[in-house]
Structure 1
Amino acid sequence: MPVIEAYLIVAVVIAVMMLVGRAVARGTGVPAAIPLVLLGVAASFVPTMSKAVVPPDFILNLYLPLLVYRAAFLTAPRETREDAVPISVMAFGLTCATALAVMAAIRLAVPQVGWPVALALGAAVAPTDPVSATSIMRRLGTPRRLVTILEGESLVNDAVALTLFGLALTALSEPVTLTGGVLLMVRVVAGGVLYGLALGWAVGRLRRRITDGGTQIVLSLITPFAAYLPADHFGFSGVLATITTGFYLGTRAHGLLQPASRLTGNAFWEVLVLLLESSLFVLLGLEIRQVINGVSRYSVATLVSTALIVLLVVVLLRLVWTMLAFPLARWLPGRHLSFDRVGKRARLVMGWAGMRGAITLAVALSIPLSAPHRPLLIFMAAVVVLATLLGQATTLAPLLRRLGLGESRKTVVEEARARQATTEAALARLEELASKEEVDERTAEVFRQLYELRLDRARAVLDDEDGDGQGARGESGSRWLRKQLAHAQRDELDDLYAKGKISAATQRHLIHELDLEERRRASDSH
């Protein structure tokens, strides 16, 4: 069978398994990772699929840039800045502590494993994946600050862990002293950040000149590779360059993209990330048989005890860190939000919400084939990912309810206030246009009634907190007038966010609704 045809068959089979695995997950309520891995294991018994080996460089150079870029792009800048200290305590302190603790645990359990290999595993299992946790928290109405800290931590700890992983890979190929390692880290970090800022500035200027939605999406797809590959080639941190570029552009997304481009781009990236994360779990399943064959030289007792030790280190260290070490950071210098606002119950949730996911798998699968003990590292990483997803993700919602951290009305009220402010801005703009006779009174009255209805609904939520906060949409009318009113609402949302009155999530949600309206009107006019 030709090589290209074989790869196409593998791709189609993986796609089918992704569909089936997610359908099973929805029907059973278990995390999608579990059925995806099991389906991958089953597919590995098929002759064509059993020969499918994904080169580690492919995982490193394809999956990681796209995943970390998207996460960085969606980071909320003001909230991240306000919670910079708790995020740093978790992302820098806990990530380094976890990587080093896992390295020591592996060295203790399996003495023949060298420190570079052990550090590679520690770096792989150190970063958290907040997707499962934050989706549960948002659904239950958990205080937004918890979600912000977890998301900010995940973004930064990806960079920290992958920088440590790069150091471990370097140590596998050449000796690294303590001084040399420190100098290498400084060069890698500084070079990656500076290159990412320069690329973000250049791409931002280019985006302002592009109005075609398809071209915008292609440019957004190229950007993470333009950040990662050159930086990595010149010895800088490709991950830090990608994160810096994504964060720089994400904070300016509303001014750099047309509404239609934002909608199409968001939909494209949501599907792409879903495919990437799902396929990683399937690829892990396909490699399980080879991994099991590779670890067969270790006794069952060694494998079980080592897996339990690594898992306990990962889970317990995070709980201890959030409950004990985390509060001590309130004494760090500088101005930041009071740590008294993060109570014991919230810290317990943060400690339990340390699931591992796609980044851990991507890092583990990207370990070079020539690396010693590679099957053992992948096996341990898989145990940590599956155990945390199955054990923590499924119990997080009951824990939140038991601790009384769900069903908050703060988000509903905040959104209603934003709706009230933006609708009042649109009405003010309408009256201004009507007074200048740039729109006739009959048309103005139609739109006045429409926006007054929206205003009444927003006020109803604020009055008794018993409304749904959803605005009505009227029929299509003057395209120009609607653009003027939508523009006024976007400006008001930007102003509310700049003044700290609403969060980035609320701002994005309401701008998304405005974008949907504008795209619908554009399609109606053609």
Structure 2
Amino acid sequence: MLVAVASVAVIIAVSALAPRAGVGAPLVLVLIGLGVSFLPAVPALEVEPEIILAGVLPALLYAAAASFPSMDFRRDFGAISGLSVLLVVVSAVVLGFVFSWMIPGLDLAAGIALGAIVSPTDAVATSIIKRLGAPARVVTVLDGEGLLNDATSLVLLRSAVAATAASVSFWSVVGDFVWAVAIAVVSGVVVGLVGLRVRRRLPTPALSTGVSFLVPFAAYWPAEALEASGIVASVTAGLVTGTLSARYLTPQVRSAEKTNWRTVEGLLEGALFLVMGLEFFALVTDVQAEHGSLWQALWVAVVAAVGVIAIRAAFILPLLRLLARRRRRGEEMRGALTTMQDRLDAKLARRDDSRPMTSADAVDVLHAAWPEEDQERRRRRQEQWERRVADHPEEARHRQRLLDRLDQFRRRLTRRVADIDYLAAAPLGPKEGVVLVWAGMRGVVTLAAAQTLPQDFPQRSLLVLVAFGVAVGTLLVQGGTLPWVVRRLGLAGVESPTAADHAAGLRAVVHDAATGLLDGAPARPDGTPYERDVVATVRGAVVREESERDEDAARSDELSAQYFELRVRVIEAQRDALLRARADGTFDSALLSRALDLLDAEQIAVEMRGETL
């Protein structure tokens, strides 16, 4: 107990003081752990890998995924999937050949196993870059890579270990990976949705937050039991929670959950880095007892660390070219897509709403977006629409279904244009590529995965020490120099050129949502209208942002109750508008998150003052 209390105190102190000294807290914690591990009074420490892989990592990755902007994840999914799947596989195979050549008696399968261990970057380790103010898109790609590449590594490691005892075909490895991901995604989605539905029915934020602590493990264990990736399941549950929490949970619950999870994240991350250092002495003594020298492990670790950086650089260079080509192609398409939007809006605005909408009307609207279509294609499009609504012959439902289809089409156009604008405003050029390469640090996952090797695995202690050397070496060298690299490239504290425009646009969205509700003569839940004075006061306080106090907004308890009730309804309308904007992807994700947080804080304050009446 005393050791745990002392460890928490060290983590808190380092996390508070390290940023003031311009040093990453993870680096300091690793160094402290290294120093303490060599003290004579400190026994050799070896933490069971399952504690990290199954007890700590699901919670950390779930929390990271829950705060991850889903629309940015979608936009950069190509780059993220390439780094988290293809790069891990390429790195593992290439390094496998290197390891089997450098380490006597190590076959190719065992070499690939070690390559799979040292190939994935660590989601926790990349937290170092977040405080540097690096470009948001670089952070998004690194975070997304760190969330998903562990699954690729662990599946590949499992297959490589099996191959040391029996032959394993390439297609069996591919099948294992597809199964691991597919089942994990299903498990994560189901658990994430069930968790939100359960939490919505709980009476207090404390109980809801308590359930949220169970969600990552509820997703992890069923997936693992089905030989799928529990890590991917936990990440998927986190993405579902982060995307839908604003619609399922109250502001009080979201605020409490965010605060509690930040505390848990900070302590668990610090504990992992501290444990990395504390385990060093035990690893050294094991290698010395088995091999008599540490030089071979050190030499292999240095070659591996240089190798992962070189392979990463060789992979990212063509990736940047592909992304640049995609950006240019999108910019070329933007004009045509915008024209489609304008024509579609104009055609819908001119349509006669006095009669039901027919399939011919729908095709006529779409034809306005593509006037160059020939008559044959137009005819096929009309037939397609008629088949879609064949099961809905009722006139009203038929019309609504067509309108819904058109609205979906219009939103897809809006989202596509927003994606093009995002990629154009935040390109990944050579400077960003350097940061992506140098920020690919390894961490505790590498060490934990190495310790899952069977006890009879060839030269196990040497391989574990090599993995530890790569993790600690990249963390200290790359992590220690990363602030200098980012500043040298001029990427520290760079604000998006569209930030001011997006901030103004968000204010307009919030203002229009409030005005739309108040202009629509809102009625109370019992159907009675709000008093005019109440509506006028809310309009002054919310729309015109006047500074009058809520307590003075009405002269009686009844009018005060109406006032606070209407204020909450306006906030909810503003939140719905922001969530629609988030789904369309028309604004910066960080600004959207901040705007949603401000609405949550405002609603909490309004409801608290209303409860005192």
TM bucket (normalised to shorter chain) is 0.7 to 0.9
Q: Which has the larger radius of gyration?
A: 2
Question: Which letter does structure 2 place at the counterpart of 1:486?
Answer: I
Q: 1:222 to 1:347 in 2, by over 3 A?
A: same
Question: Which letter does structure 2 place at the counterpart of 1:194?
Answer: V
**2:475 corresponds to which residue?**
389
Distance of 2:530 and 2:230 partners within structure 1: 53
Alignment of 1:269 onto 2:261 = yes
Alignment of 1:418 onto 2:506 = yes
How much does 1:265 deviate?
0.8
Alignment of 1:301 onto 2:295 = yes
Distance of 1:27 and 1:94 partners within structure 2: 35
Q: Is the 8 A contact 2:323 2:428 kept in 1?
A: no
**1:248 corresponds to which residue?**
240
Determine which of 322, 331, 345 is the counterpart of 2:316.
322
Q: Is the 8 A contact 1:367 1:374 kept in 2?
A: yes
Alignment of 1:345 onto 2:431 = yes
Q: 1:402 to 1:74 in 2, by over 3 A?
A: same
**1:38 corresponds to which residue?**
31
Alignment of 1:221-260 (within 5 A): 221-260=213-252
Distance of 2:548 and 2:15 partners within structure 1: 34
Q: Secondary structure at the match of 1:342?
A: coil
Q: Deviations over 1:110-166 (max 9, x none)?
A: 133344543343233322235665774675362x33333222222222322232233
Task: Among all aligned residue pairs of Structure 1 and Structure 2, give the percentage whose two residues are the same amino acid.
Answer: 30
Distance of 1:518 and 1:307 partners within structure 2: 54
Determine which of 508, 517, 523 is the counterpart of 2:593.
508
Alignment of 1:185-200 (within 5 A): 185-200=177-192
RMSD: 3.4
Q: 1:42 to 1:523 in 2, by over 3 A?
A: farther
Number of residue pairs the alignment of both structures matches = 501
Structure 2 length as normaliser, TM-score?
0.72
Distance of 1:238 and 1:137 partners within structure 2: 26
Distance of 2:300 and 2:196 partners within structure 1: 48
Q: 1:26 to 1:376 in 2, by over 3 A?
A: farther
Q: Is the 8 A contact 1:121 1:381 kept in 2?
A: yes
Q: Deviations over 1:349-393 (max 9, x none)?
A: 222221233433443455555645444344333333333333333
Distance of 2:283 and 2:548 partners within structure 1: 55
Q: Secondary structure at the match of 2:18?
A: helix
Question: Which letter does structure 2 place at the counterpart of 1:263?
Answer: S
**Larger mean Cα displacement after TM superposition, 271-280 or 19-28:** 19-28
Distance of 2:591 and 2:110 partners within structure 1: 43
Distance of 2:487 and 2:185 partners within structure 1: 40
Q: Deviations over 1:303-341 (max 9, x none)?
A: 332121011011121122112355257789x99978994
Question: Which letter does structure 1 place at the counterpart of 2:313?
Answer: L
How much does 1:264 deviate?
0.8
**2:400 corresponds to which residue?**
none
**1:468 corresponds to which residue?**
none
Distance of 1:473 and 1:45 partners within structure 2: 64
Larger RCO: 1 or 2 (CA < 8 Å, sep 6+) = 1
Alignment of 1:356 onto 2:442 = yes
Alignment of 1:496 onto 2:581 = yes
Alignment of 1:59 onto 2:144 = no
Alignment of 1:370-519 (within 5 A): 371-406=457-492, 407-408=494-495, 409-433=497-521, 438-452=529-543, 478-519=563-604
Distance of 2:14 and 2:131 partners within structure 1: 24
Q: Secondary structure at the match of 1:50?
A: coil
Question: Which letter does structure 2 place at the counterpart of 1:393?
Answer: G
Q: Is the 8 A contact 1:227 1:238 kept in 2?
A: yes
Q: Deviations over 1:186-212 (max 9, x none)?
A: 433333333333333433443443343
Distance of 2:77 and 2:134 partners within structure 1: 23
Distance of 2:222 and 2:278 partners within structure 1: 31
Q: Is the 8 A contact 2:26 2:128 kept in 1?
A: no
Question: Which letter does structure 2 place at the counterpart of 1:418?
Answer: L
**1:111 corresponds to which residue?**
104
Distance of 1:141 and 1:328 partners within structure 2: 22
**Larger mean Cα displacement after TM superposition, 196-205 or 156-165:** 196-205
Q: Is the 8 A contact 2:100 2:110 kept in 1?
A: no
Question: Which letter does structure 1 place at the counterpart of 2:542?
Answer: Y
How much does 1:493 deviate?
0.3
Q: Is the 8 A contact 1:72 1:244 kept in 2?
A: yes
Question: Which letter does structure 2 place at the counterpart of 1:189?
Answer: V
Structure 1 residue ranges without an equivalent (≥5): 1-7, 456-471
How much does 1:521 deviate?
3.7
Q: Secondary structure at the match of 2:573?
A: helix
Q: Is the 8 A contact 1:120 1:168 kept in 2?
A: yes
Q: Secondary structure at the match of 1:252?
A: helix
Structure 1 length as normaliser, TM-score?
0.83
Q: Is the 8 A contact 2:95 2:111 kept in 1?
A: yes
Q: Secondary structure at the match of 2:441?
A: coil
Determine which of 247, 260, 285 is the counterpart of 2:277.
285
**2:145 corresponds to which residue?**
153
How much does 1:78 deviate?
2.5
Structure 2 residue ranges without an equivalent (≥5): 331-415, 554-562
Q: 1:115 to 1:308 in 2, by over 3 A?
A: same
